A and B are shown apart, each in its own frame.
Chain A
Amino acid sequence: MTGFGRRVASGVGTLALLAAVVVSTGVIGEQRLSTDERYREFTVTGETGTWVSTDTFHVEVRSTQAAGVVADQSGWQYQTSGVWLLVEVRLVARTEPTTIGYAAVRDDRGRTWRATDRLEQPLLHWSYPLQPGLPVAATLVFEVPTDAASSLTLRLSERADPRMRLVVQIPLRVPATQVTAALADPEPTVVEPPRLVGEDVDHPGWRP
């Protein structure tokens, strides 16, 4: 190859290298995670009737009930323009005291409803720590539109902001016929406070 040919080859090679650097930088840049992706939650999925575990607690959904009216322990009744969902759960901390800071239901359109604040839900307060080895039975109460009630998934996490945390997801079984029947029933469903269940736990799956 002549001197001129070598210079041309060297120039072309340099240009090709520069182009490769620019293209690969662009490709790498495109591969970077967005902020929401970097702070995403981590989900663990289960189903009604089985224990599901996060890094801090175990939970089992026992049943889900629809209601047109609910009442608290004082007898005060709460009406709704939608429908109430009462999710019966059992919870126990794994190795250290922990709390449930996030409880919500999400429908198949991605809409999310936090647990209602219209009546007291002591389990969702920071003042109600779950203790290892002491299972608690509780009712989580949600207020949702009737058109969403049959396609919901329960979501629970330790922190109020579930980003970068483990989130339990358990689909709820609420047939549309149950919603219709609940709305036709004027009798209020009384929400029971959380209670220790001890030996009543018949699913050993929560045991570490």
Chain B
Amino acid sequence: MLSLLLAVLLLLGLIVVTGGLRPVPQTPLATLAVDQISRGEPWNVTVTGARLASDLTPAAYLHDRAHHWVAVIAEVEITAPESRADLLEVVRLRGIDGLGEHPGAMVEEGLVRPDAVLRVRDAASARLLHPGLPEQLVFLWERASDAPPPPEVTVLIIGMTWRESSLTGAWEWLDAAPRAQVMVPLVDQR
């Protein structure tokens, strides 16, 4: 028993000495320019602009009509081999006050998920996107603040990895995380 304990302590000592318990250094997030494509899985994304917009009924509904929309325009192409219905996961927004304050808003580590996605071609809500068929999409965030908007917003492009789940053993798209960021000038078109 004592020898086993000594062996474990020796192993832990070796791990500490060789730096095995140090945090893995984070790769800095790639910063892209507007109109520059972010290639990856499960989608390619090209952010082309950002606007402030007022009421977009009936394409999208504000919780409070006194609020307004922050709209990010991007071309998205599915690179995964099947249609995807998780378009709200493509991008996140950071660095603007008044977002994520209405019921149902999703904010995680300061990153805000879009409230709606529209297809420019149809001026209507977009739910599905298909492989090999790039589309212009508008991602919408409801903004509650009356404060002057910042001159630009930071759009985070999310990537995922197709791998075997250690929990279920099934192959799934996992590890959703920002893979690139784009600083986009915000144009007030209300």
Cα–Cα distance between A81 and B120 once the two chains are bound (Å):
13
For chain A, residues 107 to 136, give those with C-beta under 8 angstroms from any C-beta of chain B: 109-114, 116-118
For chain A, residues 31 to 70, give those with C-beta under 8 angstroms from any C-beta of chain B: 34-36, 39
User: B77-92 toward A: CB 8 Å interface, digit per residue (1/0)?
Assistant: 0000111010000000
| A144 touching B130 in the complex, CB below 8 Å, given contacts A110-B81, A112-B81 | yes
Residues of B within 8 A of A104 (CB): 83
* Total chain B interface residues with beta-carbon distance under 8 A: 20
Cα–Cα distance between A80 and B83 once the two chains are bound (Å):
16
Interface stretch among B24-32, B44-52, B99-107, B168-176? B168-176
- Other-chain contact of A79, B121, B124, B132 (Cβ < 8 Å): B121
Residues of A within 8 A of B171 (CB): 36
Check if B113 is an interface residue, CB within 8 A of chain A. Answer: no
Contact check, B131 vs A113: say whether CB atoms are below 8 A apart: yes
Q: Which of A35, A82, A110, A116 is the most central at the interface, judged by chain B CB atoms within 10 Å of its CB?
A: A35
Residues of B within 8 A of A35 (CB): 168-170
Cα–Cα distance between A117 and B81 once the two chains are bound (Å):
18
User: B34-60 toward A: CB 8 Å interface, digit per residue (1/0)?
Assistant: 000000000000000000000000000
Residues of B within 8 A of A176 (CB): none
Check if B133 is an interface residue, CB within 8 A of chain A. Answer: yes
B98 → A minimal CB distance (Å)? 31
| A112 touching B122 in the complex, CB below 8 Å, given contacts A39-B170, A117-B127 | no
For chain A, residues 56 to 100, give those with C-beta under 8 angstroms from any C-beta of chain B: 78-82
Check if B119 is an interface residue, CB within 8 A of chain A. Answer: yes
Check if B134 is an interface residue, CB within 8 A of chain A. Answer: yes
Residues of A within 8 A of B130 (CB): 113-114, 116, 143-144
- Other-chain contact of A112, B83, B124, B170 (Cβ < 8 Å): B83
Cα–Cα distance between A64 and B169 once the two chains are bound (Å):
38
Contact check, A111 vs B82: say whether CB atoms are below 8 A apart: yes
- Other-chain contact of B132, A78, A114, A145 (Cβ < 8 Å): A145
* Total chain A interface residues with beta-carbon distance under 8 A: 24
Residues of A within 8 A of B119 (CB): 118
Check if A148 is an interface residue, CB within 8 A of chain B. Answer: yes
Cα–Cα distance between A36 and B163 once the two chains are bound (Å):
12
What is the chain B residue whose CB lies nearest that of A114? B83
Residues of A within 8 A of B124 (CB): 118
What is the chain B residue whose CB lies nearest that of A142? B130
Residues of A within 8 A of B128 (CB): 114, 116-117
Cα–Cα distance between A118 and B127 once the two chains are bound (Å):
9
Contact check, A80 vs B133: say whether CB atoms are below 8 A apart: yes
A102 → B minimal CB distance (Å)? 11
Residues of A within 8 A of B132 (CB): 82, 111, 144-145, 147-148
What is the chain A residue whose CB lies nearest that of B121? A79
User: What residues of chain A have their CB less than 8 Å away from a CB belonging to chain B?
Assistant: 34-36, 39, 78-82, 104, 109-114, 116-118, 143-145, 147-148
Contacts beyond the supplied A35-B168, A143-B133: 4 A-B pairs with Cβ under 8 Å: A35-B170, A36-B169, A36-B170, A114-B85
- For this complex, 30 residue pairs linking A to B, each with C-beta atoms less than 8 Å apart, are A34-B169, A35-B169, A35-B170, A36-B170, A39-B170, A78-B122, A79-B121, A80-B133, A81-B133, A81-B134, A82-B132, A82-B133, A109-B81, A111-B82, A111-B131, A112-B81, A112-B82, A113-B82, A113-B131, A114-B82, A114-B83, A114-B130, A116-B130, A117-B128, A143-B130, A143-B133, A144-B133, A145-B131, A145-B133, A147-B132
User: What residues of chain B have their CB less than 8 Å away from a CB belonging to chain A?
Assistant: 81-83, 85, 119, 121-122, 124, 127-128, 130-135, 168-171
Which 6 pairs from chain A and chain B are nearest by CB?
Answer: A35-B169, A145-B132, A114-B83, A112-B82, A35-B170, A117-B128
